[in-house]
């Protein structure tokens, strides 16, 4: 697992005790920095897990780190836990949401607060293209439900941070007090 004290306070990148260059860029671009925590290194073991689970679709693998996830979620007791949504199209292809699949086994209930619009697939795009993307989310719940609340967005992997930043931006625009993020790997 990633040593939190030695990770970037913005994106959870290992071995970067201060805000890293990418996070400083985000701060300039969107005016805030995420407080992301990454649980595991994106190493060979994690890659094997995500390939079997997300890409091959072995749903039984969703419980691989429930204990660690439960432990991490204890740091967000007064937060609404929100898995990052898939587009309807992606959901239909995969048959499950890989994030809520894991969160179904953990203690706090989760809530889908965001909905993902249909968009062209991410893979095959360059990093620059991904970073320029339009807001891919809309609100799934009423503003009243989230106003002045704290929200924890959960995703499987932190890549550029773009998706999580979009999610956080939309929540802040709709009156959420604090957004933090948690990813299975970094």
Q: Which positions touch Zn ion (CB under 5 A)?
A: 8, 10-11, 13, 20, 23
- Minimal distance, residue 7 CB to Zn ion, in Å: 8
Q: CB-side exposure of 61: number of CA atoms within 13 Å?
A: 18
Both tokens assigned to 76: 């967000």
For Zn ion, the closer CB: 19 or 133: 19
For Zn ion, the closer CB: 13 or 62: 13
- Minimal distance, residue 28 CB to Zn ion, in Å: 13
For Zn ion, the closer CB: 35 or 169: 35
- Minimal distance, residue 26 CB to Zn ion, in Å: 8
- Minimal distance, residue 165 CB to Zn ion, in Å: 12
Could you write out the DSSP letters of every residue in 120-186? --STTS-HHHHHH----EEESS-HHHHTT-EEEEEEEE-SSSHHHHHHHHHHHHTT-SEEEEEEEE-
For Zn ion, the closer CB: 28 or 60: 28
């Amino acid at each position: 697992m990633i040593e939190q004290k030695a990770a970037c306070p913005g994106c959870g990148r290992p071995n970067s005790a201060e805000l890293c260059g990418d996070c400083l860029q985000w701060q300039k671009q969107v005016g805030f920095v995420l407080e992301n925590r990454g649980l595991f290194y994106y190493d060979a073991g994690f890659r094997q897990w995500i390939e079997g689970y997300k890409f091959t679709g072995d749903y039984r693998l969703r419980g691989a780190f429930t204990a660690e996830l439960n432990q991490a979620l204890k740091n967000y007791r007064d937060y609404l836990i929100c898995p990052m949504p898939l587009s309807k199209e992606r959901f239909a292809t995969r048959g499950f949401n890989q994030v809520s699949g894991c969160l179904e086994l953990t203690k706090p209930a989760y809530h889908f607060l965001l909905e993902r619009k249909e968009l062209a697939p991410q893979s095959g795009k360059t990093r620059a293209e991904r970073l320029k993307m339009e807001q891919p989310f809309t609100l799934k719940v009423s503003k009243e439900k989230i106003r002045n609340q704290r929200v924890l967005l959960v995703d499987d992997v932190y890549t550029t941070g773009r998706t999580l930043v979009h999610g956080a931006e939309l929540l802040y625009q709709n009156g959420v007090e604090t957004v933090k993020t948690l990813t299975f790997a970094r």
